[in-house]
Amino acid sequence: MSARFQPRERTRVRAADALAAELVAQGVTHIFGHPGGASLPLYDALLSAPITHLLMRHEQCAAHAAQGYARATGRPGVCLATSGPGATNLITGLADAMLDSTPVVALTAQVATPLLGRDGFQEADILGMTAPVTKHNWLVLEPQELPGTVREAFRLASAGRPGPVLVDVPRDVLQAEIDWEEGSFTAALPRRADAACLRRAAFAISNAKRPILYVGGGAISSGASQEVRRLAKKARIPVTTTLMGKGAYPETDALSLGMLGMHGTAYANWAMNGSDLIIAVGARFDDRITGKLATFAPHAKVVHIDIDEVEIGKIRKADFPLHGDARVVLQQLLPLVGAPDTADWWKEIEAWKAEAPLRYRQEGDVILPQFAIDSLWKLTRDLRPIVTTDVGQHQMWAAQFWKSDEPGTFITSGGLGTMGFGLPAALGAQCGRPDRLVINLNGDGSFQQTMQTLATAVEARLPLKIIVLDNQGLGMVRQWQDLFYDRRFFSVALRNPDFAKLAEAFGAAGFTARRPDELEGVYRQALAVTDRPALVHVHTEPTENCFPMWPAGQSIDTMVVEDPKYGKKS
Amino acid sequence: MEQIFDITVNDVPGLLARVESIFRRQRTPIRSFFFEGGEGRTAHVTITAFAGDDAANLLRKQLMRLVDVCDVSLAGSDRAFAPPESLFTFKEKTA
């Protein structure tokens, strides 16, 4: 570490060095970035800092990697881009982090202040562009304000409802000399719910006949998993989670109904729709959950626990609004709640479970994607892996068949649905959790959006496992054309490379599975690779569709429970 | 119905764009707008817009999420508001 990087007392330093020191003080261990002209002073400072920089091959990958790091560790992920196109390339990742409430600190360099607003080379109004996709952003014009702004950025990224923030720093500001001393911020106490509202909600829960816990990503970001478990057990309430809430409650537990929503389990959706009390914890009644709002859970009252007051009543009226941190609110609520009589309710749910279990039929020589995912889960579940997915059919099958028992171990792009998310997110997760097996479940279409991340993973010698489920097309788009556009298939077929050879060209290990009986052996070979990434190219059935499903915007009653080729509809 | 938003803000560049974007995303046209800066950092914004009570309440909560918004109070249509310094002509409220 250089001498200039060690200031502990008030001292005169280059602003870029103070910024690097602030990052260290905030506990940053990894930065995901791509350098450029305007960011060179900061890169010069980072050379001396005890921070690992992952050289991403596209700034979108940097933002997704920061998300993966944040979701796996619970700490803000940091991405770094230069001015102009470097900064604009971050936008998709920031929008993704905004919708999924992921704490990310984006640092962007900017052209020197005399060139601001003059259309200088690589100048972009990144503040204006990212305002709608960040909690807040700053353009630092006074060098002396840089350390404090960075400190505030980290505080805000994690405060309340987490989310992305961006700090834009002109090149001359980075190069200026400033007085710097290490500072700190005091985290605000988590918000508690109003006592009278709590009592009313507790009474409603204690007297419900058909209650259901509806748990979203907010339960994970607030660290409320244990409290959700205690409430479910105490009151014997069935638990369903959103895509973002997977892992907040153990999906192998008897009280779990798995994921609900458009591709969720039929019994979770039926239970939600038939309930008389929905206890929403850090969930936002997304349209993929409710379907047609007018017919959604028509007899249910709603207890809505959320740190973000905007979400309460935004889509569905909250009869018992509990505005506060989910973990703290549940801690307040637990002693007040009695055990309702849910015996009859459970009989009904068990009948639904028996009627419409999640299942697939692996027959013949072609691998079904569900089988590929289910087999890998069974093979690795004792290793407690962290799994990231990309977006598309494979994501929904993963949500169905990959049972998550632990928060922070199922990382996916929920709100924005960003193809290309999975591999860089896996890289970020592996950086943050080097002690854990990290698996990226991917599709052939989505993998090709950010596959250059393999180069970074090879350089860093990260032992990621990448499973590319290749159905030779954009499966979810194809499925919609199949079901809703009279099978008029267009622009969905992909002529793919040999992904195993491609992986080897990058310096990773590559494997291929074409038949069901090859899968386990190939998976075992990939799991045995420890010094570099290993990719498994799985050739899957190209026409398989993902069920259950209901058409977007339609009532849950229209749900098709199982592929009609199996001869069952609902 | 006409809603009046009294907003206390930190007067920083870009603030108005953030405020406006909240209304734009909710497809609520701003009918009139008044901004009064002071000598300090705090400024006052008054916006009138047509919105139902639920939509207005959602807008209020979303405005409160902005870092540089200090306070938002919502006055119903029963209140006429015409700051004398305004460059715009505010309609007097009628029943």
Q: Model ipTM? A: 0.83
- Based on the domain organization, do A351 and A252 belong to the same domain? yes
Does A151 share its domain with A247?
no
Distance CA A51, CA A44 (A): 13
Specify the pLDDT at position A3. Answer: 38
Supply the pLDDT for residue A430.
98
d(CA A366, CA A394): 16
Which residues from B are below 8 Å from A156, CB to CB?
A: 67
Over residues A339-345, mean pLDDT = 95
* DSSP H helices in A316-363: 326-333, 343-355
A276–chain B Cβ distance below 8 A for any pair? no
List beta partners, residue A77.
Answer: A104
3-state secondary structure A119-159: CCCCCCCHHHHHHHHCCEEEECCCHHHHHHHHHHHHHHHHC
φ, ψ of residue A533 to 5 degrees: the values are: -70, 150
Which tens digits make up the pLDDT trace of A485-511?
999 999 999 999 999 999 999 999 999
pLDDT of residue A446: 98
Give mean pLDDT, residues A77-91.
98
Q: What is the pLDDT of residue A458?
A: 98
Q: Is residue A190 part of a domain?
A: no
Do both A321 and A172 map to the same domain?
Answer: no
Sort out which chain B residues have CB atoms less than 8 A from A168's CB and list them. Answer: none
Q: Chain-centre distance of CA A523, in angstroms?
A: 25
A481 and A374 inside one domain? yes
CATH of the domain at A246: 3.40.50.1220
| Same domain (yes/no): A207, A167 | no
Give A419→chain B minimum CA distance, Å: 24
Q: Mean pLDDT for chain B?
A: 84
In this structure, are A391 and A441 located in the same domain?
Answer: yes
A10-14, A141-145, A282-286, B10-14: lowest mean pLDDT where?
A10-14
Taking CB atoms and an 8 Å cutoff, what residues of chain A touch B17?
A: 128, 131
Instruction: Assess whether A163 and A224 both reside in one domain.
Output: no
For residue A186, pLDDT over 90 is answered with no
The domain boundary, picked from A180, A215, A235, lies at A180
First to last CA, chain B: 11
Residue B66: list chain A partners with CB under 8 A: 136
Provide the pLDDT confidence category of residue A4 given band limits of 50, 70 and 90: very low
Domain-located, residue A466: yes
Q: Are strands B42-50 and B2-10 parallel, antiparallel or unpaired?
A: antiparallel
According to the model, what pLDDT value does residue B77 have? 54
Q: pLDDT tens, A237-276?
A: 999 999 999 999 999 999 999 999 999 999 999 999 999 9
Q: Does A117 touch chain B (CB under 8 A)?
A: no
pLDDT band at A402 (very low <50, low <70, confident <90, very high): very high
Q: What per-residue confidence (pLDDT) applies to A5?
A: 47
* Statement to judge: residues A425 and A521 lie in one domain: yes
Nearest CA in chain B to A126: B14
User: How many angstroms separate the CA of residue B91 from the nearest CA in chain A?
Assistant: 31
Instruction: Give the residue from A221, A246, A84, A102 showing the smallest Cα distance to A163.
Output: A102
| Least confident span in A188-197, A442-451, B50-59 | A188-197
Distance between B65 CA and the closest CA of chain A, angstroms:
8
Q: Which domains does chain B have, with CATH numbers?
A: 2-75 (3.30.70.260)
Residue A130 lies in a domain: yes
Q: Within this chain, do residues A373 and A438 fall inside the same structural domain, yes or no?
A: yes
B76, B60 contact by CB (below 8 A): no
* Position A60 confidence tier, pLDDT thresholds 50, 70, 90: very high
Residue A321 lies in a domain: yes
Q: How confident is the model at residue A8 (pLDDT cuts 50, 70, 90)?
A: low
Q: Which residue of A has its CA nearest to B15?
A: A131
What is the mean pLDDT of the segment spanning A285-302?
95
Domain stop point among A127, A147, A180? A180
- Let me know the angle formed at the C-alpha of B65 by A64 and A290, rounded to the nearest 5 degrees: 70
| Chain B positions in Cβ-Cβ contact with residue A310 (cut-off 8 Å) | 58, 61-62, 65
* Whether pLDDT at B87 is above 70: no
Phi-psi region of A75 (alpha: psi -120 to 50; beta: other; left: phi over 0): beta
Q: Is residue A186 part of a domain?
A: no
Average confidence score pLDDT of chain A: 95
A377 and A239, same domain (yes or no): no
Which tokens in the block code for residue A396?
Answer: 């929904």
In a domain, residue A25? The reply is yes
pLDDT at B80: 47
Q: Is residue A1 predicted with pLDDT exceeding 50? A: no
Give the model confidence (pLDDT) of A525-548 as tens digits: 999 999 999 999 999 999 999 999
Any idea which residue has 């206890």 for tokens? Answer: A279
What is the least distance, in Å, from the CA of B67 to any CA of chain A? Answer: 7
B61 touches chain A (CB under 8 A): yes
Determine contact: A125 vs chain B, CB below 8 A: no
Apex CA A175: angle with CA A151 and CA A8, to 5°? 45
3-state class of A262 per DSSP? Answer: coil
pLDDT exceeds cutoff 80 at B82: no
Listing DSSP states for A173-241 in one string gives: HHHSEEEE-----PPPPPPPPPHHHHHHHHHHHHT-SSEEEEE-HHHHHTT-HHHHHHHHHHHT--EEE
Residues A464/A533, Cβ–Cβ less than 8 Å: yes
Single out the residue in A149, A180, A211 at which a domain terminates.
A180
How many Cβ pairs within 8 Å bridge chains A and B?
A: 26
Cβ within 8 Å, pair A131-B21:
yes
CB contact under 8 A, B14 and A156: no
Evaluate whether residue A32 is within a structural domain: yes
Specify the CATH number for the domain of residue A118: 3.40.50.970
Answer yes or no: is A185 within a domain: no
Residue B89 has what pLDDT? 47
Distance CA A248, CA A236 (A): 16
Question: If pLDDT is split at 50, 70 and 90, which confidence band does B76 have?
Answer: low
Q: How far apart are CA A489 and CA A492, in angstroms?
A: 7
Closest CA to A229 of A331, A158, A79: A331
**In this structure, are A175 and A31 located in the same domain?**
yes
Asked whether residue A389 falls in the same domain as residue A350, the answer is no
Q: Is A454 helix (H, G, I), strand (E, B) or coil?
A: helix
pLDDT of residue B78: 54
| pLDDT tens per residue across span A107-149 | 999 999 999 999 999 999 999 999 999 999 999 999 999 999 9
Domain count, chain A: 3
pLDDT in tens, A423-467: 999 999 999 999 999 999 999 999 999 999 999 999 999 999 999
Range of the domain at A424: 369-547
Sign of the CA dihedral running A470, A473, A474, A479? negative
Q: Given the DSSP bridges, would you call strands A136-139 and A164-170 parallel, antiparallel or unpaired?
A: parallel
